[in-house]
Chain A
């Protein structure tokens, strides 16, 4: 790929990369910034933010450090976001490429499968999957990945359809190269750019769905999760509202970061956008 950073990189992309990098850094440094178990009950209960230097963002109803929970929660959110996107990409790109490249019956069957999955309400399907598989970080990743691949599959198929009759592909075919080789080395590398932008959007979507599942009590109860923080603080809305507001802001920032990244990438990688 030829996407290089330069001062001409669209500002959306730069902002997105910056935000995502910052988030990743915070998540990685969680153990250094707030050492120890984020779920340990370490302070007085219901301490407001900015009132005690030891707990800059206050404590929750059980006396747990909100800052530590937010930082460790970032790990869960990012892990689920990236993991779910990986599952969705593997399935989506695989099926989309096969459908687009071979066409015919394969295309017909896979496209109908796509249509079918898209008609199912994806959030309800995720809920059912998590409930059946028992809530854990793996099952949440899998459930979100299994419900968000069709968009990627459609886009990949369209791109592969566009490229499969290009001259260099026909040349490779004439040389007698195998289908797998052609797909992986000649078709996909030239059609993957818009899909990459879509993957960033899938990460943002996954972060949001993870939070919603955890809010409903379907998260991994043994890990800190922003959604679960909001869910647990629901009855305290009128007394300790910051317990809902802070993780809410964290979710907003993360989703925004990945959305910016996705939009930036699609602007940058779109040939017409680059010509602007």
Chain B
């Protein structure tokens, strides 16, 4: 596979047909150039360098350069080979056989074998990975008939395991360095040895993490650059300046303030993309405590959904980086359906619903007051809260803002359930059963666990649908379950998915080979190369 960026490919074909000289230049620039140092930026600094025990996004950005997954995924979420060359599912769907790539070695020279896979699945992912406990919960054993075959035995069919094997989610770690240690405190977490395209060189806390090309990488010819540096620049304005001076050439996950995006987008040296985040499928939602008196009334929740101007919100608070959502599953997913109850911006409809619910406007024009909790760690969240307050004021609801730092906010919402409404980001994940069950399942009402069912919403009908989505292996039936999930969610409305978030990757135009695969922001940078080398 020759990695030609689509845009440069287009430029090449167009150039060839229009102008010979242009075509000549494009041709010269078409092939990847070897060598050079790629300087990226990551904020915040990752706490460790494997997502096995901490899947903060900063870890997921850096660590896939060191570790591989068993599989990777293409644009349509179809599996493509990584450490596993191919796999087979048994007819009873209770075992998955992985045929591993031969001749792969760890960065310390030890051969990679099925023992590493067995150890990673059973001892690391199933026990320590934050989501892995659910994903791999049904794996009872991993058999290793030979060094290049690993067979996962399941107690029940699972629909999610095969969607969770990318390096961004489940990294294969070296058994010979992790066995008989506590994986949470293993020194290799910060001095890693992997099979990936880059070898760890040095980590200077607060300054940079340095990697060099793995010359024996199994994907021949890659990576293209000789060195990869992730710089740590905590101040947003300094990051923007570093891009403008060319000190930094690549940065995922909103490396610059969204307010600066328009200015930097106009810079001819820089390019901005929102592709590569579909793996997360992030959306912004307005959640209700359905056990509270007023927000417990579904008519009130529907009225509020009609009262919010989503387009205005995206423009005003998020600088246009978002798309209005119709449900919790983003429109770009296979499981998406638009056939759900819709709540267009219609303050008059909102007022009607509130009148019907018996909440008339008082003498001061106010129907009732609701607390609104949010974490004000970004300016966009603060502006969002203020925007929502004004929207709801127009229909007679006094939304009282209560900003807090993250721990206080988590405690109020997910431990004490002492709130009426809240807003924040949530990741549906590319396989929504991986992410969304936390928001909707009765079993996810887990006091003390952040980002679970803080609404305390419980609907046995939806619980049955979620179970199907987690277990069903027939794609058609599974899709039908996801559709039912969206319909019930948007009818009962324990939360209002307001808009699909767009995350920003900023890079220099010298950086070539960027992909728009759904997990590109979480993938290794092995395909990137620098125009002009060095």
Roughly how many angstroms separate A131 CA and B263 CA in the complex, as a whole number? 36
B317 touching A217, Cβ below 8 Å = no
Nearest B residue (CB) for A41? B390
B403 touching A61, Cβ below 8 Å = no
Given contacts A62-B316, A63-B316, A235-B379, contact A41 B387 (CB under 8 A): yes
A221 touching B403, Cβ below 8 Å = yes
Given contacts A37-B393, A221-B401, A221-B402, contact A61 B316 (CB under 8 A): yes
A222's contact among B236, B258, B387, B400, by CB below 8 Å, is which? B400
B263 touching A238, Cβ below 8 Å = yes
Nearest B residue (CB) for A216? B376
Chain A residues with Cβ under 8 A from B389's Cβ?
39, 222
- Min Cβ gap B242→A in Å is 15
**Chain B contact surface mostly:** helix
B317 touching A62, Cβ below 8 Å = yes
- Min Cβ gap B244→A in Å is 11
Interface string of B171-187 (1 = CB under 8 A from A): 00000000000000000
Given contacts A39-B390, A217-B376, contact A239 B263 (CB under 8 A): yes
Which residues of chain A in 27-45 are interfacial with respect to chain B, using CB atoms and an 8 Å cutoff? 37, 39-41, 45
B323 at the interface (CB under 8 A from A): no
Nearest B residue (CB) for A217? B376
Chain B residues with Cβ under 8 A from A217's Cβ?
376, 382, 403
A236 at the interface (CB under 8 A from B): yes
Nearest A residue (CB) for B399? A222
Roughly how many angstroms separate A39 CA and B386 CA in the complex, as a whole number? 8
- Count residues on chain A whose CB falls below 8 Å from chain B CBs: 21
Chain B residues with Cβ under 8 A from A131's Cβ?
405
A234 at the interface (CB under 8 A from B): yes
Roughly how many angstroms separate A41 CA and B260 CA in the complex, as a whole number? 22
B315 at the interface (CB under 8 A from A): yes
- Min Cβ gap B428→A in Å is 27
B260's contact among A40, A45, A62, A238, by CB below 8 Å, is which? A238
Roughly how many angstroms separate A83 CA and B402 CA in the complex, as a whole number? 22
A135 at the interface (CB under 8 A from B): yes
- Min Cβ gap B392→A in Å is 12
B263 touching A234, Cβ below 8 Å = no
Roughly how many angstroms separate A61 CA and B379 CA in the complex, as a whole number? 11
Nearest A residue (CB) for B316? A62
Task: Give the number of residue pairs across the A-B interface with Cβ within 8 Å.
Answer: 59
B403 touching A62, Cβ below 8 Å = no
Chain A residues with Cβ under 8 A from B317's Cβ?
61-62
Which residues of chain B in 251-295 are interfacial with respect to chain A, using CB atoms and an 8 Å cutoff? 257-260, 262-263
Chain A residues with Cβ under 8 A from B382's Cβ?
217, 221, 232
Interface string of B383-417 (1 = CB under 8 A from A): 10111011001000000111101000000000000
Roughly how many angstroms separate A63 CA and B313 CA in the complex, as a whole number? 11
A62 touching B383, Cβ below 8 Å = yes
- Min Cβ gap A267→B in Å is 43
A135's contact among B312, B379, B383, B403, by CB below 8 Å, is which? B403
B315 touching A45, Cβ below 8 Å = yes
B383 touching A61, Cβ below 8 Å = yes
A124 at the interface (CB under 8 A from B): no
Interface string of A31-72 (1 = CB under 8 A from B): 000000101110001000000000000000111000000000
Interface string of A230-272 (1 = CB under 8 A from B): 0010111111000000000000000000000000000000000
Interface string of A119-137 (1 = CB under 8 A from B): 0000000000001001100
Closest 5 CB pairs of A and B: A235-B257, A221-B401, A235-B259, A62-B316, A217-B376
Q: List 25 A-B contacts (CB under 8 A).
A: A37-B390, A37-B393, A39-B386, A40-B393, A41-B387, A41-B390, A61-B317, A61-B383, A62-B316, A62-B383, A131-B405, A134-B402, A217-B403, A221-B382, A221-B385, A221-B386, A221-B401, A221-B402, A222-B400, A232-B379, A235-B257, A235-B259, A235-B379, A236-B259, A239-B262
Q: 19 extra interchain contacts, Cβ-Cβ under 8 A, other than A41-B316, A221-B376, A235-B236?
A: A37-B393, A61-B259, A62-B383, A62-B386, A62-B387, A62-B390, A217-B382, A221-B385, A221-B401, A221-B402, A221-B403, A222-B401, A232-B382, A232-B383, A234-B379, A235-B257, A235-B260, A237-B237, A239-B260
